[in-house]
Amino acid sequence: MTAASAADYQLVRDLRAQSIFKDLVPDLMPAQNGTIVVPCADGERITNLLTQHWAICGSGRNCHHTISLNGGPLLLPKGSPVAHLGERRVLLEHAYGGHRLKAVTTIVLYGHWPCGAALGAGLSLQEALAYCVEAKDVIRTFFRKRGLEPDVILCFHVDYANGRQRSYYFDRRLWEAWVAEQQNAA
Ligand SMILES: [Zn+2]
């Protein structure tokens, strides 16, 4: 089983304190038409992740089209060290297929930690988070080129290794401001 370090959990606490990881509440999840969900396949976390996702989508349309491969959204950015088999194209086309088949207009990307695919590729938590943000842009650009403007929601699931697993809304604007702040301070 993959494990996160104490420093990783400290970073998660910092991101919570900065409201970069927000409580995932229904107002942040436009699920009235269902969702296309792109999580990592991680079998030890997927049950918890999807159970939380279904709960947060509440009374929205009960259609959650799940496209899941090892690494999930980390497979989307060009040059990602997690992708080696053309998964980027596969994920994008299948997300688009989900939209065409089910008329779903909300795409939810779930990064997670600890992620065996990310750790196996040598990524730190901070690098994985940066790839998740890039993945959001990749999927939005792909749909835009087809004349579509879906809601793209970025979430992040954390396994605290004490029996508790939790998904958060990942606020990319606050993240980018925080990263810029860190770079200026360095
Ligand atoms: Zn994973």
- Looking up residue 76, the CATH number of its domain turns out to be 3.40.1050
Q: Separation of 178 CA from ligand 1 center, angstroms?
A: 24
pLDDT, tens only, 60-101: 899 999 999 999 999 999 999 999 999 999 999 999 999 999
| pLDDT, tens digit (0-9, with 9 covering 90-100), for 2-23 | 899 999 999 999 999 999 999 9
Cα of 161 vs centre of ligand 1, distance in Å, is 15
Among 30, 57, 49, smallest CA distance to 157 is for 49
Entry pTM:
0.96
Q: Which has the minimum average pLDDT: 1-10, 37-46, 86-95, 163-172?
A: 1-10
Share of the chain above pLDDT 90, in %: 94
In a domain, 101, yes or no: yes
Provide the domain limits for residue 24. 6-185
Q: What does the alpha-carbon distance between residue 171 and residue 156 come to, in Å, rounded to a whole number?
A: 10
Q: Is residue 1 part of a domain?
A: no
Distance from the alpha carbon of residue 186 to the mean position of ligand 1, in angstroms: 30
pLDDT on residue 2: 84
Residue 151 lies in a domain: yes
In DSSP terms, which residues pair with 113 in a beta bridge? 158
Confidence of residue 1 (pLDDT cuts 50, 70, 90): low
CA 105 – ligand 1 centroid, Å: 25
**Interatomic CA distance for residues 123 and 73, integer angstroms:** 14
Based on its alpha-carbon atoms, the radius of gyration of the chain, rounded to whole angstroms, reads: 16
Assign 3-state DSSP to the chain and report helix, strand, coil percentages, each to 5. 45, 20, 35
| Residue 63 covered by a domain | yes
Residue 22 is assigned to a structural domain of this protein: yes
Instruction: Look at residue 92 and tell me if it is in a domain.
Output: yes
In angstroms, what is the span from residue 41 Cα to ligand 1's centroid? 6
| Mean pLDDT along residues 160-180 | 97
For ligand 1, an ion, list residues with CB under 5 A: 40, 42, 115, 117
CA of 69 to the centre of ligand 1 (A): 8
Q: How many domains does the chain have?
A: 1
In a domain, 94, yes or no: yes
Q: How close is the Cα of 70 to the center of ligand 1, in Å?
A: 6
Strands (E), 50-99: 64-66
Q: How far apart are CA 77 and CA 133, in angstroms?
A: 9
- Whole-number Å distance, alpha carbon 121 to ligand 1 midpoint, is 11
How far is ligand 1, taken at its centre, from the CA of residue 184, in Å? 31
Residue 150 Cα to ligand 1 midpoint, Å, equals 24
